[in-house]
Amino acid sequence: MSGRHVNIHACLVHESRESVIDLVRNLHHLDPDSLLLLYNGGPDPSLLRGFPFERYNAIVHPSPRLMRWGWLHDFALDCFRFALESHPFDTMTIVDSDQLGMRPGYSEFLGRFLSRRSRVGLLGLVQTPQTEPPWAAPMDHAWQEFHHWRPFLRRFPDGESKFVHRTFWPSTIFTSDAARDLLELWEHDAQLQDLLDRTHIWASEEILFPTMLALLGYEVAQSPCRYDLVQFRTRYSTEQLDAAFEQPDLFWIHPVPRSHGDPLRAHIRARFGGYEAPASPASTLAPASAHRSSEGHEASRPSHPHGLLLTWPILNEVRGIEGWLSPPEADLLIAVASRAITLLPSPHTLVEVGSFCGKATILLGRVVEALGSEARIHAIDPFDGIVGARDRGLQHQGPTRERFEQNLRAAGLTDRVKIHPKAAPRVPWSEPISLLLIDGLHDYASVSSDFQHLEQWVVDGGYVAFHDYTDHFPGVKQLVHELLQGEHYQEIHCAEGLMVLRKTQRKASQGKFGKSAAKVVQRRR
């Protein structure tokens, strides 16, 4: 994926003006880059009047229709049509009026997941024809009409085998291509229109959309977001909220009573400071200094008054740089770089394997700059634009060195970064390393050789961060698990796909792994 992922939250609202405003403030605080599209599906035309929603990157759909429960597909189609004509997007996320966000970084998390899934049409809590019974009630109900739908299904390759798919509606995600093709099918297919006039399928939006997309050849897939707190008619406790806040891939809660004073709403507001300042993904490694900027605007050179390391200006700056480092991962990297520089003995060297266009490089440079450190950053990358894993498929993004150096110049960090334009095992090395970031190719052979070539120079107590520690890249997970099963590395923290380990103290008798880097430190002093 290149560039910023553009998401639209399509919010169907119909009652309780105060809860609509609370939802808008919640979504904008946690996901400020996403446009909020408010669709008034209730009977009160004044529901969304008289409040400055535009301050929260929200717009009101100009021509909503009255919706009835169990037949909400027209709401989504109206939102697709409006957005495709006037607000281009990569994804549209369905948000119910009794739903709230639970953590920042949603759009980046979603964009990173989809960058490796080129044919996805829908993401959600999905059931397919192959799902073992008991099925959800809407699926059972739809099967009663299978004979009506059979002639239509037979027009598509293996069409009968794709009846019926279902997604649980709150937080369902549509890609823009899928939305466009759904509109085309809905508006111009006479046979489908006839079926819609005669069908008694209920929860139409949950059944018809995923089934149509499967017929059109799209992947209807499980969302990467956890659904622990996205259920049907469930009441949660504040203890469940507190546990959920610790889950890096849990972004949503549904349902939440539509009352501003509800204890769950109040608990979430309190968690995020009343939605008064930009949200910064928290990390257990975060320094005790201030964590948020009161401004929240773009700045090419973030200011850090009186030596405080403010994470928000750094996160805000690097989000526009091509790459796959999400805000929670970036926040963790800021925290661990700060810890390495402030707690480990100098001199400090920060080494990044796999720089791409410089997203993490510039982040590290800003940390060094903010702390007034003389630490040197080394960027190791062949800059051929090849990403992924040999065992899972490689992507060719084109040469990246020119973009990398241009980003460094724009950030004013050229003098702080030494570039090594080759694969890590071909880079001669003899300096102690305080922080090593491994983010090159992600198959086991590649990640292992990158790590082993530099590991002996990581100082005792130093940090190693592995990016893309996810199920999609089992080679990264395998190496990390091997290290944790040994006695020389301990887990510090994991944020989404960034896993941070700390090298433990080793005995002098262990040779170069415990002494070589320390000797170099002593010589350089």
Asked whether residue 331 is domain-assigned, the answer is: yes
> Do 379 and 480 reside in the same domain of the chain?
yes
| 329: pLDDT strictly greater than 60 | yes
Output the pLDDT for position 302.
54
Output the pLDDT for position 514.
40
Asked whether residue 404 is domain-assigned, the answer is: yes
> Do 239 and 323 reside in the same domain of the chain?
no
> Do 269 and 337 reside in the same domain of the chain?
no
> Do 265 and 325 reside in the same domain of the chain?
no
Is pTM beyond 0.75? Reply is: no
> Do 340 and 442 reside in the same domain of the chain?
yes
> Do 346 and 419 reside in the same domain of the chain?
yes
> Do 28 and 113 reside in the same domain of the chain?
yes
Count of C-beta atoms within a 10 Å radius of residue 490: 12
Asked whether residue 57 is domain-assigned, the answer is: yes
Task: Kindly state the tokens that stand for 189.
Answer: 């297919």
Which of 222, 256, 275 terminates a domain? The answer is 275
Confidence of residue 509 (pLDDT cuts 50, 70, 90): very low
Mean pLDDT of 42-50: 92
CB-based contacts of 176, cutoff 8 Å, min separation 6: 84, 88, 89, 90, 91, 92
Average pLDDT, the chain: 87
Q: What CATH number does residue 225 fall under?
A: 3.90.550
Asked whether residue 445 is domain-assigned, the answer is: yes
Output the pLDDT for position 133.
67
Mean pLDDT of 152-170: 95
DSSP three-state, residue 477: helix
Q: For tokens 């009968």, name the residue.
A: 160
> Do 109 and 215 reside in the same domain of the chain?
yes
d(CA 103, CA 120): 24
Output the pLDDT for position 135.
63
Q: Is pLDDT larger for residue 136 or for residue 300? A: 136
Whether 34 and 7 have beta carbons less than 8 Å apart is answered as yes
> Do 322 and 218 reside in the same domain of the chain?
no
Asked whether residue 217 is domain-assigned, the answer is: yes
pLDDT digits (tens, 9 = 90+) for 60-101: 999 999 998 888 999 999 999 999 999 999 999 999 999 999
Number of domains forming the structure of the chain: 2
Output the pLDDT for position 261.
85
Asked whether residue 285 is domain-assigned, the answer is: no
Confidence of residue 521 (pLDDT cuts 50, 70, 90): very low
Residue 158, sorted as left (phi over 0), alpha (psi -120 to 50) or beta, turns out to be left
Asked whether residue 172 is domain-assigned, the answer is: yes
Whether 198 and 148 have beta carbons less than 8 Å apart is answered as yes
Confidence of residue 381 (pLDDT cuts 50, 70, 90): very high
Mean pLDDT of 253-260: 93
> Do 153 and 271 reside in the same domain of the chain?
yes
Asked whether residue 101 is domain-assigned, the answer is: yes
Count of C-beta atoms within a 10 Å radius of residue 477: 19
> Do 471 and 358 reside in the same domain of the chain?
yes
Output the pLDDT for position 465.
97
| 460: pLDDT strictly greater than 60 | yes
Mean pLDDT of 3-22: 92
Q: What CATH number does residue 412 fall under?
A: 3.40.50.150
Percent of the chain topping pLDDT 70:
89
> Do 332 and 244 reside in the same domain of the chain?
no
Mean pLDDT of 362-389: 93
**Host domain of residue 163:** 7-275
